[in-house]
Amino acid sequence: MHVAKSTVLIVWATLIFGAKGWCHDRVLMHLNFDDSQDTSFEYGERRHRLATRDTVSGTSFRIVGLAEYTPGVSGTALKFDGFSSYVEGRPLISSEDEEEEEEFEIPRAISVEAWIALGAYPWNWAPILTIGKYKVTGFYFGVDSHGRLGFHVSDATSVWHECNSKADPKTKLGMDLRKWYHVVGTYSPDSGLAVYIDGERAGTYNDFQFDYGIVYSDIERGFRVGMNREDLAPSEPIRDWATYPSRYTFDGIIDEIKLHGQAFTAKQVKRICEAVRPENEPDLPARRFFTVRPSGRFGANYTRLSYYPQWDAIWPGGDHLDVVVQFDDYPTKVVFWRGTRYSPCWVSENGKWLADQSRETGNNWFLSEGRREDLPTGCIEHMSDTQCRSSRVAIIENNDARVVVNWRYLQMDVKFRQHDVPNNTGFGQWGNELYYIYPDGLGVRKVLPGYGGWQETIFLNEPGTRPEDNVELQACTLVNLAGESKAYSWAHGYPEFDLEGACIQMVNFKSKFKPFIIFRDGGGFDVFNLEVRPAYSHFPWWNHWPVAQTISDGRSCNAPDRASHSSLSWADPDGDVALYGMTDQPAEFLVDLARSWNYPAELEIEGSAFASEGYDHAQRAYVLRAEEETTSVRLKFAASARSPLFNLALVVKRWGPQSVALTVDGRPVPRGKVFRYGVEYDVEGNPSFVAWMKIRAEGDTEISLDAH
């Protein structure tokens, strides 16, 4: 075979294939990654250029992206981050002008071996070592999305031949995570393909029609370790027409890659494997959602929440990216995290997460006029904003009585494309939401005018957990305002919600504090009855969100290796507000709370100094306005069993005393955990007094506020 080559090509061909006189008893290439280098990195700084050396030829190859050196089976190994890192197999030498054609032989038989440890299963196939064009020429030695090992080759007929290890029929998975494996792929025209894991044959293939051997192309491009040359779409898509080729890399550690000029026998592979005992456990700690040490106070803080180092490293933006709201009387939290694209999550005392949907529309491109690449496709929502290009969060109020947070986002598809442009403004569809959160651990979500539905009860599954680890099979309890309740189980498939008038839903987390959602009277819940795969979970189970960076609006989970989410219900809230929280009380406890919010007690104001603007369900507060200067507010509430007082909030506009005394039915209530207040000022300096008081009442109640 004759191929015109530059100096780079001649070096590469000699390195990988040898010159004339092919040698069958020596290692052709060995990347041991023992040339450990400084891989420290801070965003915004140009990282020091790294390279690794082949011990056979002495040739160096560039390390691209955020790879790290880490303890290996012997010496050091290379940790690939799953997002950016790979080894580019072009020799780092200067290329001269084209030279004369140089003849070299293509190998007739080869073996590839390596030691690997997986941090997560690849989104699709990810290479340990690959040469040529994927599924066209050369060979591919890698791992798939189920943890299977594969050795694939192309013969001179351009047929792609695959030899893969088997997955466990019960788990549907191959290799485990965070464990060293010695892996080998062999090929010869006589015996075909074989793969070996830890010295044992794991798969064979010999369905070749001809004995031409492997056909190679693009030799001048060299090899790749850790990353595909052509992006592949994630496997198991929900909508393959809304899932696109994505950039990702091997997620884990690779060490001791060797390319041999012969096809090993099973005995040889076993002997090679048994000759090495790993010196270190793989440096791949189990991935968990972060925990926030309790602050001991009620309030919101900007912070930078850490997930795991490789994911954290890809994010720019400084130390104030995320918002956490904490409570002094409750171990729960509300988290606005870039990993969820800032969709707020209610987090229990033991780290169970309740999320929700944003405003969402959609577009099935095949039902529209135009090409797929020209149109927003699939789900148009916050989940698609993988880099938080538009999704942002801001603390609006942060005082002793309440926190108000604003979440604003562009509804987009997975390629960052807007839907149609309403009213010809060119702005696309946006969501804008306010969260009014109080010291009792409750918050009202106010969804401002926009396009699309916005409520879907979602819970998150941290890596290492399945949906069943986080929620009971009897996953939901519904309650109506009459106090009737009913629990629903997913043990035998989707239930059917049939409790009449149920506007209260509790999610039965495996935690002490369980999340709930309350709608206005008239709203209701329906079971989310799509996309479940019973062989994997009783619940729908996806991992295209949160934290993922692939281009897909739906991917079913194969394993609990990544952060994932599941849905229980979706709803018609019958309005633009919903009340959220977590409680350690039974679901029936929520009836009084729901009544107080749905049917607020009638308010009577003594005197003419203040006027009522009514009860604002979005703020979960009575809103008053000062009409004249005064130091006292006298209020009477006609509370009842149907309209109880349940932790009262007041907003008094144009009134801003710095010190206030409270009396309830003539009894003084000191400022503290039971009575809290603060003053907020608008851009013109006008004050608003915000007060919250812990109170339960079902009869007439008089309240006085006196400034002093």
Query: How many angstroms separate the CA atoms of 279 and 63, rounded?
Result: 24
Whether the predicted pLDDT of 107 surpasses 50: yes
pTM of the full predicted structure? Answer: 0.94
How distant, in Å, are the alpha carbons of 391, 535, 575 from that of 497? 33, 24, 20
Whether the predicted pLDDT of 100 surpasses 60: no
Query: How many angstroms separate the CA atoms of 126 and 250, rounded?
Result: 5
Residue with tokens 């496997």, as numbered in its chain: 235
Domain ranges of the chain: 2-274, 299-589, 599-707
The answer to which of 6-15, 252-261, 393-402 has the lowest mean pLDDT is: 6-15
How distant, in Å, are the alpha carbons of 234, 408, 443 from that of 323? 31, 14, 15
The answer to which of 14-23, 113-122, 123-132, 519-528 has the lowest mean pLDDT is: 14-23
Q: In residues, how long is the chain? A: 708
Whether the predicted pLDDT of 94 surpasses 50: no
Tokens linked to 499? 């409790």
pLDDT score recorded for residue 106: 63
Mean pLDDT of the chain: 92
Which among 39, 284, 316 is positioned nearest to 176, based on CA atoms?
Answer: 284
Tokens linked to 127? 């290479």
Q: Which CATH number fits domain 299-589: 3.30.1490, 1.10.10, 2.70.98, 3.20.20?
A: 2.70.98
pLDDT score recorded for residue 93: 55
Whether the predicted pLDDT of 6 surpasses 50: no
3-state secondary structure 545-559: CCCCCCCECCEECCC
pLDDT score recorded for residue 216: 87
Whether the predicted pLDDT of 573 surpasses 60: yes
Q: What is the pLDDT of residues 190-239, one digit of tens each?
A: 999 999 999 999 999 999 988 888 888 877 888 999 999 999 999 999 99
CATH number for the segment(s) 2-274: 2.60.120.200
CATH 1.10.3470 describes domain 599-707: no
Tokens linked to 363? 């577009």
Q: What is the percent of the chain with per-residue pLDDT over 70, rounded to a whole number? A: 94
DSSP 5-71: --HHHHHHHHHHH-SSS--SSSEEEEE---S-------TTSPPPPEEEEBTTT--EEEEESS-EEEE
Across 261-283, average pLDDT? 96
Task: Report the b/e string of 671-695 with b at 16+ CB within 10 A.
Answer: eeeebbbbbbeeeeeebbbbbbbbb
